[in-house]
Chains A and B, each alone.
Chain A
């Protein structure tokens, strides 16, 4: 080490910190700064000439490739800029939205999932549709309790600590509001699939089976015919569930898609009733009562009932029957050109799995069977895809699902023939999207 260090900068040398005296180290730092200054000045010159060259060569290719963007030439953001990550700012158009005609009061309203922009079968938790009857809450989980009472040997109280220690299950299920697609019973009323079908979401729910809790409490298996589920919020939503179902696949769930439930979806505890309309999936679940009669709660005696042509109402019709919809291309989207499209959509059944989905591009005259894009789970959304080459002429796209019981999704006129035109709930008809020559897609009824 006889040479001055400033003479050797630029060669590969052991890091000076390991063997130099403080004075020599300072000398080395100065020399390195001089070198870096020179290098930076050279770099700037290169960048300027490259910019001029790109403009000159525009015909040779696209700026997106030839002109390096800032993210290729600069330093990006640090880790944990955001402790809970958010979607890209470019995705901000995909939001839960209210339908202007439906909302009178913001606390007793509904927001719809933007199905037109989602992939696969899982709904991002922040885009899960909402339905509140009396506003939502963010409840302190340490103060939340679940009570089981009624026809049980032991009336019990559980804290969240207790519940989360119990053996848990994680299952993927759809939840659909009984009023999903209600606006379309009489005629076309809303433009996009977000508003026609956006009150359906699908998540992985984790919790303890309701049957486990009922058995722990010593449910009276002879006398018990029904359970009542009750929420802890202002509306204290109550719904009757038959005991067979309660002992089958209902889950007292605290988690959704790997994290705790979102407050809008019932944090810290909600009931999951697979295959049954969302109103039965009581949020902020505080109580399960075991009984021997139905309860005729407000939302099963005045709402969520089917208005039949003879003026009667069918009560307790909770099953969400087989349904499907094409999500792309769908209402008020615009096709950019003729040619190939992967027509994609969702199918689901409250009675089991989706066996088959057929797609028509001529308004239901001729059908082809779509590809089911794995996993096919009971009472869960199922993704389908089918190839379509659009010739630029008007086309009417429809999908028709068949479930594991053999039930075929009906046409709207078939539904009306049985249930009349004044019903609100449980509208599961085939949806038609008209693709016009200008590329715009619109909501129509064809049958």
Chain B
């Protein structure tokens, strides 16, 4: 039985007067890939951003409800968002390496969180993270080269390596492959499959085929509601809600 990592109850999000997320309840399992799908503006990215309090930085955003990571309220006043984001890492649509060397990109997080006692330990963390990001063999001879000089797919894997360097428990991915070619996409998907041995992963994607390929659980969002959440195989073969069926079969809902 897989453990529950995130438990959300009665989550509502407002951007000023706009009600973006309406009463969402969801349990996200550990060591599982969960895909959020839905049309643009349905709230899937907004909900993803609630999970590591990225909405805190948007002044007009208001989040109500209860979101617990391993049973602890992540919106509690005592929780430091910076510590939370070390535990709940994030990878974005556009690869965004720091304008630094490949080594420093990965070493930055462990340094500021004091995860390494000395240079040797830091070297080990960098190597381990780059291996987990399936990038080590391609960059081990040029760790001092700028991260921005890598190809798009390599940059995205560098961002994943950077995210895993702080030993997170959850990885959030907001359309991690939409700027990548099919080969780089396949490499990231293979990586996602490996990473689920160690982490809980949540991926927002517009590619339904990608959701079907990489995830075990799928959540379909529509107009701010979580319409249906279940086994990916079930969602894509015989969904319960007609709105889910309309969306995944490419019909007008």
Task: Tell me whether A and B are bound partners.
Answer: no
Binding site for B on A (CB under 8 A): none
Which residues of B are in contact with A by a Cβ distance under 8 Å?
none
